[in-house]
């Protein structure tokens, strides 16, 4: 039996006496598209920060493909097959779109800290970048410095950087936030394409996107998971409606 892609066991995060994440346990099997929802301030981004190593857990274990990653640095977790995007666009602004994606493929393709071969001669790297830019519809913007891209393109690049390393587990933090309706639709189509064959955990506020995309949904309220289930049953769950959907609909 293969280990789950992501397994959280009784994860706690405290800042001083503030308990932000309170005993979260969650198992995401390989290949699932999992949505994490909850009101603002519930701790969704904090949970992502814990999983990706940006923050360290106060208690509990986090396993990626069966391997305990608690206490590892973000780059070590990334090398173990987990990649994430950020709610606030987090790219290399002075580098071109092409170079941004290249940054994210070099390590995973084994070039690491190599300072003895020319990066322009690496045909495999070039091919991978082209494929990623094609997938994210950024091919014609390849020479543009990332900092001057339009917002929706920056968000697409953010996703491109996240997936380019070929990680099996992808965390996307509000990928459609701040987008127009049409842009969000494009983004969802992109997420659907890139999540094929991967495990996806996505934080998203747009419920139509969530119910459209997710295999299962987890609801986080005040640092606790109050439900994890398939979309239809989440919709019908009275506790969820009271805590989240009810207030959103009102």
Partner 1 sequence: MSNAAKPATWTAAPAAAMPGALRRYGVWLVAAAVFVVLPHIFSSGTALTVMSLMGIAIIFALSYNMLLGQTGMLSFGHAVYYGLGAFCAVHVMNLAIRHIVPVPLVLIPLVGGAGGLLFGVVFGSVSTKRGGIAFAMISLGLAELVASSALILRGFFGGEEGVTTNRTKLLRLFDWSFGPQVQVYYLIAAWCLVCMIAMYALTRTPFGRMCNAVRDNPERAQFVGYNPQMVRFIAFCLSGFFAGIAGGLAAINFEIVNSSYVGLGPSGTVLIAAYLGGVGYFVGPVIGAVLVTYLQLMLSDATEIWQLYFGLLFIAVVAFAPGGIASLVMMHAPLWRARVVHRLVPAYLLALAPALVMLAGISLVIEMTFRLTVKASEPSAMTFFHVPLDAASVASWLAALLLIAGGFWLFRRSWPVVDRAWTEARAAAKRQGSAS
102 binds partner 1 (CB under 8 A): yes
Contact flag: residue 27 with partner 1 (CB under 8 A): no
The interaxial angle of helices 123-135 and 97-106, nearest 10 deg, is 120
Among 24, 64, 70, 91, binds partner 1 (CB under 8 A): 91
Binding mask 149-168 for partner 1 (x = CB under 8 A): ------------x--xx---
Considering only the stretches 108-116, 192-200, 206-214, 226-234, report the one whose residues sit in contact with partner 1 under the rule CB under 8 A: 108-116
Q: Which is nearer to partner 1, 117 or 181 (CB)?
A: 117
Q: Which of 119, 189, 230, 239 binds partner 1 (CB under 8 A)?
A: 119
Q: Exactly one of 10, 56, 68, 75 binds partner 1 (CB under 8 A); which one?
A: 75
Decide whether 201 or 217 has the Cβ nearer to partner 1: 201
Tell me which residue has tokens 């892609």. 5
Q: Residues 45, 46, 78, 199: which binds partner 1 (CB under 8 A)? A: 78
Pairwise CA distance, residues 77 & 70, whole Å: 9
148-156, long-range: CB within 8 Å, 24+ apart, which pairs?
149/97, 151/89, 151/178, 151/179, 152/179, 152/180, 152/183, 152/186, 152/187, 154/89, 154/91, 155/89, 155/179, 155/183, 155/187, 156/187, 156/190
Q: In the bound complex, what is the minimum distance in angstroms from residue 172's beta carbon to partner 1?
A: 13
Instruction: For 75, list phi and psi in degrees, rounded to 5.
Output: -70, -30
């Amino acid at each position: 039996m293969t280990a789950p892609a992501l397994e959280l066991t009784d994860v706690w995060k405290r800042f001083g006496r503030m308990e932000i994440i309170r005993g979260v346990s969650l198992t995401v099997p390989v290949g699932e598209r999992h949505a994490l929802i909850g009101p603002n301030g519930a701790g969704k981004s904090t949970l992502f920060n814990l999983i990706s190593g940006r923050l360290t857990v106060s208690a509990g274990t986090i396993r990626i493909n069966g391997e305990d990653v608690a206490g590892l640095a973000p780059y070590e977790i990334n090398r173990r097959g987990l990649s994430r995007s950020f709610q606030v666009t987090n790219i290399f602004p002075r580098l071109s779109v092409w170079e941004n994606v290249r940054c994210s493929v070099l390590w995973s393709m084994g070039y690491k800290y190599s300072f003895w071969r020319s990066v322009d001669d690496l045909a495999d790297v070039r091919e991978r970048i082209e494929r990623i830019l094609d997938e994210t519809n950024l091919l014609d913007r390849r020479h543009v410095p990332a900092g001057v891209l339009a917002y929706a393109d920056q968000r697409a690049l953010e996703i491109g950087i996240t997936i380019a390393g070929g990680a099996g587990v992808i965390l996307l933090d509000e990928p459609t936030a701040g987008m127009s309706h049409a842009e969000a639709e494009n983004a969802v189509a992109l997420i659907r394409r890139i999540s094929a064959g991967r495990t996806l955990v996505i934080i998203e506020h747009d419920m139509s996107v969530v119910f459209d995309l997710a295999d299962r949904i987890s609801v986080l309220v005040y640092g606790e998971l109050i439900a994890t289930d398939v979309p239809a049953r989440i919709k019908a769950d009275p506790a969820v409606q009271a805590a989240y959907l009810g207030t959103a609909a009102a």
